Structure 1
């Protein structure tokens, strides 16, 4: 066989091999997902954020072609969950319920996080924003926010949050600064353990996003003293805002979906399309819109930019208050 012809055939074979490989890669991406997807949530089962995670997991599973299973990794205000996902294989089978705590306040107050925000993640979509609430047990002698302030000024109170350096702690520290209050912070690994001690009298109050806890509030186990929204919640007309009560703090906590950095764009796009459909699910909207919370619409780069700005906002609050991670 002449040398030029042999060279031509070898080159053709090589090109064919490359074409087959690229086709197989395309098929692999097109086949996603081929197994259940894990959604890592930084709260224990029954905690506040756990509800939002389970609702999106259920709705997402209906549209992405595989079950989405919640994996609770509680602790450190959601930072354990974020570290887990930051170091996970970037194949689209491990996602995180990102939130203000592990993606906003933690990078602002901690200089030694085992992950970087937003560099270690691919933000996919913001899901919901919810106000914070100051709560006490229904057995508490504190009936109103005025009572709470008076009690704090008369003697040291305690308040629980879902973790040191979390969004709830920093926002409650803003409340303390605005009202000149001395209240001891007691961190917990999620709402569930915090509520157990609140009901048991081991801690005096709890500051957290209140909307996932409406069952306990309407059921008479929790007393909601004030909310951090800009105006009163229509379904809770008797509960004042912090601002109208003279404490100028207006903040909300957000939740969203993110994947590990390096996740293929085709996979991220597939998840994004499924999230868009899931966000129209009537049950999801019912839960997300309940009692002052609202669904969000930011996706992709817009969500990434929002996270960057959120970190900057928390960092300013940390610096103004001289706060440090405990």
Structure 2
């Protein structure tokens, strides 16, 4: 029985130490790892959020692009980082929803190896074609593609593009070839050059090309038209059964102290409420949709993991 007071005293000491640590956090710059290349939609969103979050934390939040292997390189690096709040991971459904169903022998666990901090929002995707493509609507593109079996291709630099394209391919019964890419900017360049004929691009990285007329938008992945492109028809209108959401959120390595997680979450909520941040993200086509608590985000991540497992199976994609 004498050991009980000691245990309670130790627990109280640990709580006090954790609280003191969180009060002094951060005392140096924070790194925000992004799993995609500079110029991608996630990178653009990360830079807007990191700047404002750094202002609120009173320490710089530095964006570190670690692109490659469908977000695996960045995910593994963050999973192995020290869980002290100085390494954050702004990522998407690619690393935490789709990869477990797409990649055999995945070297990280999206649930066990990370601490959920907050969902940031949704980065919509749009189906785009070359500006000289004869199709003016998604239905026309589908009909034209069916008339050329095996002759057309589409770009897939991330899991959202892959699953979205394969879902359209399956439902519409198209014979088109998937061409993998390392980054969205490279895929866009080849679409404009005619190397590939279609690309389901994240609106963040594609907005400039869309606005300049270099590519033509035939549909968006959201269920309702985007505020930034109100006249573009959602893909589900032409491809019934299409249901895909690309989310964006922030994690840390597993084992982060809760006071620090709560502090980052609270400051992030304030950053996303900032009018200038909202304006900058809206220009990227990004839909702000934050979770209120880390626990709410954790549940969402688990639900999305199951949902994307179903999407991948329905698309007929085999893990490799």
Shift of 1:221: 1.4
After TM superposition, the score normalised by the length of structure 1 is 0.87
User: For 1:222, which of 208, 215, 223 is the aligned residue?
Assistant: 215
- Equivalent residue, structure 1, for 2:103: 110
Residues 131 and 251 in structure 1, CA contact (< 8 A), matched pair in contact too: no
2:284, 2:70 → 1: CA distance? Answer: 24
- SS for the counterpart of 2:250 is strand
The within-5 A match list for 1:178-217 is 178-217=171-210
- Equivalent residue, structure 1, for 2:5: none
Q: Describe the shift of the 1:304–1:23 C-alpha distance in structure 2 as closer, same or farther (beyond 3 A).
A: closer
- Let me know the Cα RMSD of the aligned residues: 2.4
The within-5 A match list for 1:1-326 is 26-155=19-148, 156-163=151-158, 166-290=159-283, 293-298=286-291, 299-326=293-320
Q: Describe the shift of the 1:200–1:263 C-alpha distance in structure 2 as closer, same or farther (beyond 3 A).
A: same
Shift of 1:121: 0.6
Q: Describe the shift of the 1:81–1:291 C-alpha distance in structure 2 as closer, same or farther (beyond 3 A).
A: closer
Residues 161 and 199 in structure 2, CA contact (< 8 A), matched pair in contact too: no
Dislocated runs of 4+, deviation >4 Å = 18-26
Q: Describe the shift of the 1:154–1:125 C-alpha distance in structure 2 as closer, same or farther (beyond 3 A).
A: same
Shift of 1:29: 3.4
Choose 140-149 or 293-302, whichever is displaced more: 140-149
1:161, 1:321 → 2: CA distance? Answer: 14
Shift of 1:85: 0.6
Residues 151 and 157 in structure 1, CA contact (< 8 A), matched pair in contact too: no
Residues 161 and 186 in structure 1, CA contact (< 8 A), matched pair in contact too: yes
Residues 179 and 247 in structure 1, CA contact (< 8 A), matched pair in contact too: no
Residues 75 and 189 in structure 1, CA contact (< 8 A), matched pair in contact too: yes
After TM superposition, the score normalised by the length of structure 2 is 0.88
Shift of 1:116: 0.3
- SS for the counterpart of 1:115 is coil
Task: Count residues in correspondence.
Answer: 309
2:197, 2:280 → 1: CA distance? Answer: 28
- SS for the counterpart of 1:255 is strand
Structure 1, unmatched stretches of 5+, are 1-17
1:110, 1:223 → 2: CA distance? Answer: 32
- Equivalent residue, structure 1, for 2:8: none
Shift of 1:108: 2.4
Shift of 1:234: 4.4
Structure 2, unmatched stretches of 5+, are 1-10
Shift of 1:52: 0.9
Q: Describe the shift of the 1:217–1:23 C-alpha distance in structure 2 as closer, same or farther (beyond 3 A).
A: same
